[in-house]
Structure 1
Amino acid sequence: MAEAPRKKAKTYNFHPEWEQEFLFTLVKEKCVCMLCHQKQALCKRGNLERHHNTNHPKFKDRYPQKSAIRARKVDELRSELKAQQSLFTKSADQNKAATEASFHVSHFLAKNKKPFTDGELFKEAMAITAETIFKDFKNKDDIKASLRAVPLGPASVARRVESLSEDVDRQVLKDLSLCEYFSLQFDESLDAVDTAQLVVFVRMAFQDSTTKEDFLTLLHLKERTRGEDIYTEFKKYVSENDIPIHKLVAITTDGAPAMRGVRLGFIALCRNDPDFPEFKNYHCVIHQQALAGKVVDFSHVMSLVVKLINSIRAKALQRRLFKALLDELDAAYGDLLLHADVRWLSRGKVLQRFVDLLPEIKTFLSARNEEHKELSDDAWLCDLGFLTDLTAKLNTLNNELQGKDRHLPHMISAVNAFKSKLGVWITHLKNGRLTHFPNLEKMSQSIKDKDVFHPEKYCAHLDKVATEFNMRFGELNEMECIAAFVSNPFMLIDIEQVAAKFQLVFSLSSGVDMELVDLQNDIELKARSRDSDFWGLVNREKFPLLTACALKVSAYFGSTYLCEMAFSQMKIIKSKYRSRLTDRHLTDCLKLAVSSYEPDFRGLTESIQSQPSH
């Protein structure tokens, strides 16, 4: 049996003359009585007339219909109702503004790694500022009241930080779902209470050839930090957040056994997991560079330098006396630097400061009646000068590899340039030219016995560094040909050789050689070759293999610099003065401190009920 057609609901329209006749007006599609402020669901003449005659029967006696006095009264009632409505609206708007301000301030505090309790301090500072700056303003009291209404108590700031972190997390996960490929970098360190914290950063490549890199998550390892523990925690995170792991193309880690162990390392476990695609694994370029620089054994120099620095810096009195001496002699620096082996640039900075203050150090040790024969040994001094120059050059390379948005081609270029420079330096030293070794040249000019100075003997040490670099950076050598082509697709190449590299690195079967030929002979693309978004302009249907490979290369991380940078931020956020910070809040604070994503402040404000501060 067919269902009977539903009767169409009748629409009732409000008529302006009903304001004078029944004292009703229209507010947000509702009929509101201007006398008692009651609402009528339907703008129906009979409903309004019944309400007016039942609830206000004496009004027509005092204000007759169509009289001037009635018209004035209606205008007066209408104005009063509008004023009342605007008062409520203004109050709600002020509450929303105060809530949005609390989100901005909470984000500012988290971005600058400040505790939640600093919200009240910030608010008090604003009140003090307002008291002084706005003292001659007529609306001074309104301004102060608005500032006092901003909720910035510790609990409020903590909730705001949680909401802001969730919003940033949603944006990152959304971009992960939209990107074509992504790579990850992992590193682990201890916080202030010895909890192992595993930082994960992501670099995403999109279809238009743009890239983004940002903080992904912080995983808390409460017990052991074996490869299987790291794998279990990361796999759990992937499952809970629906990470499109099939888009993964590379993972960059340090060289710890927990990460790169052959059987039970994190990388090995990921490769054996069928949910993970085939991906590349890189040992952090900066870590490898730091390790390669340690093959030069100058312990006889470094041990004495560290010993002397510690003897001066370890005791407060000795340090004060030394600083007073430096001030008296108008030295270039005011103090020595302590050596920290875990810091990448420490050794170079410590040695350079030691060399620059060597005359003052000798004077100070002489005043203490201390004698170290090495400080007068010409051979030792030359070794000191050479080691200082070499570590300075390694520091320069290290700085070149650090930073955000350092893609793989940039790192390959920096490492290859350093290898070439090593060859130049060796040639110069063999010929007795010290142009690139200023500290060695300075020491050679100051020594008494010129016969002990043989610059060519340092060539063997540079050869060891060059050998170590060639051994450690095999992964980069494999990618060099591909990275060069992606950066400059119209360079002169051997088609078969480059095609073979693509097939080897990306496990391609065939077809890439024909795409290479077509691309290099495409006149229109050749005219756009200098565009920064070149690979975003290439037709993906015509060049599916090359465009996919180019996007993968742009997604690669070359180092774990971002993780190391995040650990520095984490040490400030969770310090010994804030050691009770929970893992959840540590993750939220770190995410806001290092993320480049901007939270949706307006959307977050609209999503909650705005309440002013009490």
Structure 2
Amino acid sequence: MTSLENKPTASTCDICDTSDASFTAANIIVRYGKPFDDGEFLKEAWLACAETIFADFEHKDKLIQCIENIPLSKHTIKDKIHKLAENVIEQQKNDIKSSPFVSLFLDNRRMDQTPRLAIIARYCAVNEIKEELMSFTCSKDMDMLALTKKALTEKKIDTSKIVSITTEDYPDMKKIINGVTAPSKNNVSHSILEFDCIISPTRLFLGASYSHITSVLKVVYDLVKHLLPKNFCNYRQLEYNTKILAFLDEVYTLSTDRESNSKISWLRRGEVLQRFVDCLEEIKLLLQKQNNEKYLQQLMDITWLAKLMFLTDLCQIFKDFNAKLQDADKTVIIMSDLTCAFEAKLQLLRNDIVSKKYKFFPNLQTLPNDLDSQEILNEANASENFSSIINDCSIGLSSVFSQFRELSDTLKFIMYPDMIPFGKLNLSKFAWLDIDEFEMTLIDFQCSTIWTQKFIKLRQELELIESERLSGGTNKNANNKILEVWSTIPNTFSCVKKLAFAILTIFPSTSVCESVFYDMRCLESDWNKNCMSDDEKFAYILLKNHHHQHQHFQPVAGPLQGTGLL
């Protein structure tokens, strides 16, 4: 390496900014979920590589000295993470202040027996739609409404800008929504849209359906207690078949998740029941060795087995649907389309059960066909029960996603403003946007060839982005592309733009929220248990999810500029 331009000069080394380098290292540590003390490990790795990398450099010793001078102690990394988090928080406040609208996602979950409330905001910042963690608070013995109001005040979120609030339909969440939207001296109450983005089994399975499901889950639950040692964490030391251990792995994963003591919550992890079905024969053999007739008879009961197979298949179907709903980088239009399609699929599933073909129920298909007369009668009754359960699911799902159905055409406005007739728009929930001149403005807009042409081109681009998203090969964000086009529309059409910007803030998935709780579970792992304060955990998760969205830090002021992050 002889070229002068490849050789750093002495002056370059003299002014190398080791503080900026430590900010970069702290950011990398957070991004990959590593402990604070991994900073020293990074330095050791850099120094080990430096001898080879800089072997032909004229100022090799000075470059290595620069690396040695980078402060990467555990205390330094903590400090840098704290300062980076402060920078992000300040940027959030500035972005929300300048954004015309904001939507919120509220989720309260138990983690390691401690309930935690996550508040995430979605808003437009220049040509980028951001989903940012606002608050992640321990909510044990605390007033949820007070915590939410406190978070909104600290982040300076003007409640008069709130377009929608997405929750998982917990009763206390409804109380929060009512409290947040209540009129005060400083703002005017307006209609706020309420959405559910995750299917809650308690909304789908009620009455008779609930009793059928819990009768299956109770046996599975009791069998788990029978199979597990008193010290739950030591289950892998047992001499069980690998399939049984795989099943217990799923149970253990669920036990660290929300409300593990609630049997109905198992429906949210369809893989648990599938693992149970996969190792059913192995469990029977184990019970035979143990001479456990009680559970063995239950597992040989064809009626109970039919319920188990049906529930397992149904859980897998809902699990796949849930995964699509939580998929990141899709538009709220796709969210609405998915819910509409799934409601239609439920009718197809019901017909499949009635016809007893079980094309969409692979586990149910595995049941033996050589049944005696009593078992045939039981199968007929089971078929009626299964059909009834699917009907209940259809009714429950219709209730959960009612807002998406009511606003189906209105949500499409962000992509089809040049085509949707005014009469198809449901503007009753958006009247507070001060869009009295909307109908007249829409006529002007739809008759303007220049501006409508932009959306024809936009839809072509979005088609490509969506194709890539479905194949898992894109990092493009369709929402940002839509926002970019709307930002070019003149303010002459302000009424039309207001509606579009408001719709763009509605959450199209819960991917960021799921990521937040996943990261917290990682922080509660063995390497970190009791090593971090709540403030440090919040800073850590805030930064990690800031990068999860492939966003870059933006400086608000001060020494963080020039780090390569900002």
**TM superposition score category, shorter chain reference:** 0.7 to 0.9
1:534-568 CA distances to partner (integer Å, 9 max, x unpaired)?
A: 65177444433222111101111256553342122
2:501 to 547, 551, 559: 551
1:410-460 CA distances to partner (integer Å, 9 max, x unpaired)?
A: 322222111110111112222232111111111254766555433354211
CA distance 1:583–1:213, shift in 2 (3 Å): same
Equivalent position of 2:552 in the other structure: 598
Letter of the 1:359 counterpart: E
Describe the SS at the equivalent of 1:249.
strand
Farther off after superposition, 375-384 or 575-584: 575-584
1:87-134 CA distances to partner (integer Å, 9 max, x unpaired)?
A: 6x455313x1x2222111111112233332222233234334446777
1:261-286 CA distances to partner (integer Å, 9 max, x unpaired)?
A: 2xxx4532442224345251424320
Equivalent position of 1:337 in the other structure: 250
Distance 2:194 2:160 in 1: 18
Query: Number of residue pairs matched?
Result: 503
Residue 139 of structure 1 deviates from its aligned partner by 6.6
Distance 1:606 1:429 in 2: 61
CA distance 1:182–1:101, shift in 2 (3 Å): same
1:242-269 CA distances to partner (integer Å, 9 max, x unpaired)?
A: 44554332222343344322xxx45324
CA distance 1:431–1:362, shift in 2 (3 Å): same
Distance 2:339 2:524 in 1: 35
Equivalent position of 1:92 in the other structure: 14
Residue 594 of structure 1 deviates from its aligned partner by 0.9
Q: Is the CA contact 1:434–1:440 (under 8 Å) kept in the aligned structure 2? A: yes
Q: Is the CA contact 2:85–2:543 (under 8 Å) kept in the aligned structure 1? A: yes
1:350 to 259, 272, 277: 272
Letter of the 1:439 counterpart: N
Farther off after superposition, 151-160 or 579-588: 579-588
Matches within 5 A, 1:497-576: 498-499=424-425, 501-507=426-432, 510-530=436-456, 531=458, 532=462, 533=481, 536=486, 539-557=489-507, 560-575=510-525
Describe the SS at the equivalent of 1:529.
helix
Letter of the 1:267 counterpart: N
Q: Is the CA contact 1:348–1:392 (under 8 Å) kept in the aligned structure 2? A: yes
Distance 1:488 1:160 in 2: 45
Letter of the 1:323 counterpart: N
Distance 1:317 1:572 in 2: 20
1:303-352 CA distances to partner (integer Å, 9 max, x unpaired)?
A: 1122223322437689733226x5xxxx9968663154656765411111
1:284 to 196, 203, 219: 196
Equivalent position of 1:42 in the other structure: none
1:45-80 CA distances to partner (integer Å, 9 max, x unpaired)?
A: xxxxxxxxxxxxxxxxxxxxxxxxxxxxxxxxxxxx
CA distance 1:477–1:431, shift in 2 (3 Å): same
Distance 2:503 2:537 in 1: 32
Equivalent position of 2:537 in the other structure: 586
Distance 2:73 2:443 in 1: 65
2:328 to 379, 401, 404: 404
Distance 2:557 2:427 in 1: 46
Could you say what the CA RMSD is over the residues aligned between the two structures, in angstroms? Answer: 3.7
Equivalent position of 1:230 in the other structure: 147
Q: Is the CA contact 1:185–1:202 (under 8 Å) kept in the aligned structure 2? A: yes
Equivalent position of 1:314 in the other structure: 229
Question: Which stretches in structure 2 are left out of the alignment for 5+ residues?
Answer: 1-8, 463-480
Identity percentage of aligned residues: 22
Residue 476 of structure 1 deviates from its aligned partner by 2.5
CA distance 1:345–1:401, shift in 2 (3 Å): farther
CA distance 1:214–1:440, shift in 2 (3 Å): same
CA distance 1:574–1:114, shift in 2 (3 Å): same
Distance 1:606 1:540 in 2: 35
Describe the SS at the equivalent of 1:443.
coil
Residue 469 of structure 1 deviates from its aligned partner by 1.6
Normalized against structure 2, the TM-score is what?
Answer: 0.77
1:376 to 300, 305, 308: 300
Describe the SS at the equivalent of 2:118.
strand
Residue 569 of structure 1 deviates from its aligned partner by 1.1
Distance 2:185 2:398 in 1: 34
Q: Is the CA contact 1:182–1:203 (under 8 Å) kept in the aligned structure 2? A: yes
Equivalent position of 2:120 in the other structure: 201
Residue 483 of structure 1 deviates from its aligned partner by 1.2
Distance 2:291 2:61 in 1: 70
Equivalent position of 1:252 in the other structure: 166
Describe the SS at the equivalent of 2:537.
helix
Letter of the 2:164 counterpart: A
CA distance 1:91–1:125, shift in 2 (3 Å): closer
Residue 588 of structure 1 deviates from its aligned partner by 1.7
Distance 1:559 1:125 in 2: 39
Letter of the 1:546 counterpart: V
Q: Is the CA contact 1:168–1:598 (under 8 Å) kept in the aligned structure 2? A: no
CA distance 1:489–1:445, shift in 2 (3 Å): farther
Letter of the 1:598 counterpart: H
Distance 1:224 1:582 in 2: 19
Equivalent position of 1:305 in the other structure: 220
Q: Is the CA contact 1:284–1:559 (under 8 Å) kept in the aligned structure 2? A: no
CA distance 1:368–1:279, shift in 2 (3 Å): same
CA distance 1:123–1:452, shift in 2 (3 Å): same
Letter of the 1:349 counterpart: E
Equivalent position of 1:23 in the other structure: none
Residue 232 of structure 1 deviates from its aligned partner by 4.3
CA distance 1:582–1:247, shift in 2 (3 Å): same
Distance 2:554 2:447 in 1: 46
Letter of the 1:467 counterpart: I
Q: Is the CA contact 1:351–1:388 (under 8 Å) kept in the aligned structure 2? A: yes
Equivalent position of 2:473 in the other structure: none
Equivalent position of 1:215 in the other structure: 133
Normalized against structure 1, the TM-score is what?
Answer: 0.72
